[in-house]
Structure formats: structure tokens, C-alpha cells
Chain A
Amino acid sequence: MSVRHALLALLGTAPVGAFALRQEFERRTGRTWPLNMGQVSTTLDRLERDGLVAEVPSDGDVPHYALTDGGRAELESWWAAPVERGVPARDELAMKLALAVTLPGVEVQAIVRAQRTETMRWLQALTRLRGEPQADDVAWQLLLDHYVFAAESEMRWLDHVQARLTRAGAAHPADAAASTLASERERVVARGDR
């Protein structure tokens, strides 16, 4: 998560102080990624050092910050550029299964089944959360949808892994299965919603 760009985006409308910035960030992201004040201050210091924000006069005693021209340009290019893919984040589950299929004595099918039950529960809980009154907030709804689709995709991947292992007909298929596992997942995720 680029806290740096998120703060630039929030400063894009009006000058604000560090505390208000943190509140705005958490409000708009449904408090999904809690930020501490230290992170906010450090980030602001760096942005100021890089000439992207500057302190401006304010009524109260807390310093307010505003975007510089450079900051505004940086923000524009952030909105304009797609979020980079292609360097997948390390995924514990993909890693666990890739190890499980290659190491002796690991019950891969049992791992897949246990994970599917867990992911299904998570999906059930998310689905219920989407029906809560607080879910009216558009940003929050969008984030919940994001997690719902991610969980669904994980379920599909787990089904796929199970089918593959069943077809391979052994608890420990060839090493080839392991090496394709991670890339399989990328593909399933990339395919997205039908």
C-alpha cells in the first residue's frame, strides 16, 4: 500500500494537519489498513523533504500541509498509471501448497480441504457483513466486494488444485505440479469474474 500516494491524494483537495489526514485515510478505506500517527508523520516529513508537500499557515497550532506543484504532478501520474502487477506478493497459501506437494509425508488433500472450509467461512462472514447497515458507504462496499471476489477466486483455485491432485492420482505428484501451482494461481486470479 502506498501510504505516500494516499496522503498526496487526500491533500489534493485542501490543506490539512497530520491527525486529520490519518482520520480521513481510515474513514475512506473503511479502516481496513490502520495507520499510526508515526507513519503519517514520517511520510509527511519525507514528502516535504522531496518537495511534494509544504507546510502552510493555519489558524490553529497544528501544522497544515498542502501539495506543491511537484506534488500535484506526482499525484496526477499516480492516478494515471495502473497499479503494477507482475511481481506477485508472497502468498502464504500458495507457498504452503507448493511445499506440501513436493515434500514427503504431507497430506496435501487434507490441507486443501481444511483451507477450503476456512476460506468458505471467511466468505460467509464477508457476505453477511455486506448486508450490514454500515455497508451503505460506497468505499466500504467496494472494499468488501474486493475481499469477496478474492475469497471466491481462492475457492476456485483450491477446487482446481484438488481436481489436479485427484487426476494426478497420488498424494505426491511429480515436481512439475508444484512448479506450475503458483502460476496456475496467477491465471485463475487474473481471469477474474465471469
Chain B
Amino acid sequence: MSELGGAAASRGPVVLSARGLTRVHTGGPVPVTALGGVDLDLRLGELVAVMGPSGSGKSTLLHLLGGLDAPTSGSVMLAGDDLAAMDRAGRARVRRRRVGYVFQDLNLMPLLTALENVALPLELDGVPPKTARREAVEALAQLDVANLASRFPGQLSGGQQQRVAIARSLVGPRRVVLADEPTGALDSVMGEEVMRVLRGRVDAGAAAVVVTHDARLAAWADRTIFLVDGTVVDEAIAMGPGALLAEGGGRPW
């Protein structure tokens, strides 16, 4: 079983930092403020969960953190690069190298097999195909879908596709994982397994932000931030299990 760090667990340097992150959509008849000024620091070794009602800006936040979208104002520093100062292509390059992203709608390539989907980000980064495939198989195996490697997305169930998408976010040396509802289509045991895998990756020196509606899964994170109407309204920081253990061990409450 994975060791869950408490507040006292040792953390690395800040790898992802957002300041005053705001996104206003101006396409429609009235401007929509999807995100209204969010600050966030993510350290290596840290897992952060984001919760909040539908439409509260969770996906928007993740898009901005991953450089998939540009903020109306505010800044994102990703491993030393200022994403706001880059053009679209620059952000895409940084994202591919640094970020494993699990999209809310998965975004698997329909004409590539599960294995090819997972190997793709590595191959785009110039990893030799053989190595890329080997790493892809390992990632698929971690999520218990290695036996489905040669299937196309259309031949997989929703939960299986989700696991392939998670595997794709975990391959290679990328140390920041941004996952948008990665467990939505999974049963409760598999959902927990995914959190265990993510937790393991983070404890091995990565960092992750996970959007989830499931409090039981959010509890695996070091802290949970609650978004409402585009702003962070609360934050719950995990303490170690010691917080529950009375003197003498045994009885926790």
C-alpha cells in the first residue's frame, strides 16, 4: 500500500505556480468569467485535488495550468517557463515535454491503438519507437489494461479508455500530471487504484493536480481546494494519520 504523506511529508521545489489566474470568455453576448483570480503553487511530491460544482472553473483552471489555453490575466510558471509569455506553439512544446494531461473527454486518437496512443507523446519527443512502446506497455500494465494494447479506442469501454488516457499521461519523464476527472467512468475500486498509481508517481518525485467530484478519491491528495464560481473558497490540508491517533496508539477517536 502506498504511503500517504501528511502535511509534514517532505516536498520538493515549486514546479508549477499560478498567480491571479483569470479567464474571461468574450465570445458570447455577455462575457463569462470562468476563472476569477486563482493562485496556486504545486511542489514536486505534492498531489492537489480540485473539487467544485459543475461550471465552477475546474477544467478552465487545469487548461490554463497546462498551457492549453491562455489566461485573460495572471501568470503560469511551469518548470521555470512563463507560459503567458509564449505563443500557442511554444506552450504546446512545453506541455508535451513537461505535462501529462488527462482530458475530461479523454481525447484518445481514434485511429491509433491503445498502445500507439500511449507511446505517441514519447515518440513526438524523439524517443526511439521501440523504447517508447516498451514504456507504453509498462504504463498500460500499471493500469491493468496491457492486455488491451492492440485495441482501438472505439473497441474499449469508457472505463478502459479512461485508463488508457491515464497511462498516456504517465509515460516518460514528465513530472507534472494534470488530470481532469480521471476516474469518472471507473467503479469505486478501480477509481481508488488510479489514485494509488497517481499517488505512487507523485511520491516518486512528480506532482499532480486532479479534478474530481469524488471526495473519497480527493482524500488521497495532500490538499483539496474547493472552487465556486471561478474562485477558491476553501482548502482542506491533510494532516498525517497521527492527527487521529490518541496517546497510546490503538484508539483513533
Contact = CB atoms under 8 A, between A and B. Distances in A.
A44 B251 CA distance: 25
B85 interface: no
A159 B53 contact: yes
B1 interface: yes
Nearest to A158: B215
Contact of B219 (A127, A132, A162): A127
B107 interface: no
Interface stretch (B32-40, B70-78, B158-166, B239-247): B239-247
Contacts of A119: 215
A163 B213 CA distance: 13
B218 A120 contact: yes
Interface string A150-166: 01100110010011001
Interface residues of A, number: 33
B4 A131 contact: yes
B80 interface: no
A113 interface: yes
Given A116-B226, A131-B1, A194-B188, A152 B215 contact: yes
Contact of B53 (A34, A113, A162): A162
B233 interface: yes
Contacts of B241: 125, 128-129, 131-132
B252 A149 contact: no
A31 B236 contact: no
Contacts of A132: 241
B26 to A, nearest CB: 25
Interface string B157-194: 00000000000000000000000000000011000000
Query: Interface residues of B toward A: which range?
Result: 20 to 34
Given A113-B226, A194-B188, A125 B251 contact: no
Contacts of B253: 32
Interface centre among B215, B236, B244 (most CB of A within 10 A): B215
A126 interface: yes
A61 interface: no
A125 B241 CA distance: 5
Contacts of B216: 123, 127, 148-149, 151-152
Contact of B234 (A34, A113, A125): A113
Interface of A: 31-32, 34, 113, 116-117, 119-121, 123-132, 134-135, 148-149, 151-152, 155-156, 159, 162-163, 166, 193-194
